[in-house]
A and B are shown apart, each in its own frame.
Chain A
Amino acid sequence: MSGPDRKETEVRRMLAGPPPPVPPDLAARAVARGRRLMARRRLLRRIGWLFALLALAALLTWSADRPWLPPPARTTPPAEGW
Chain B
Amino acid sequence: MRERRWARERCRAREFESFVAGAAGRLLHAAALLTGEPDGQPAPAAEELLICALSRTYAAWDRLRGEDPYDRARRELTAGFLHTTRRHRRPRGGLLDRLPPRERLVLVLLLHEDVAEEQTAAQLGLPAERVHALFRHAVSEMRSSRPEPAPAPAPP
Contact = CB atoms under 8 A, between A and B. Distances in A.
Interface residues of A, number: 29
Interface in B24-71: 24-26, 28-29, 32-33, 37, 39-43, 46-47, 50-52, 54-59, 61
A66 interface: no
Interface in A19-75: 19-23, 26-31, 33-38, 41
Interface of B: 9, 13, 16-17, 20-21, 24-26, 28-29, 32-33, 37, 39-43, 46-47, 50-52, 54-59, 61, 95, 107-108, 111-112, 138-140, 142-143, 146, 149
Give chain B's interface secondary structure class: helix
Contacts of A7: 139-140, 143
Given A7-B140, A21-B41, 18 more contacts: A7-B139, A7-B143, A11-B142, A12-B111, A12-B112, A15-B108, A19-B28, A20-B28, A20-B32, A20-B42, A20-B43, A23-B47, A26-B24, A34-B55, A34-B58, A37-B55, A37-B56, A41-B59
A80 interface: no
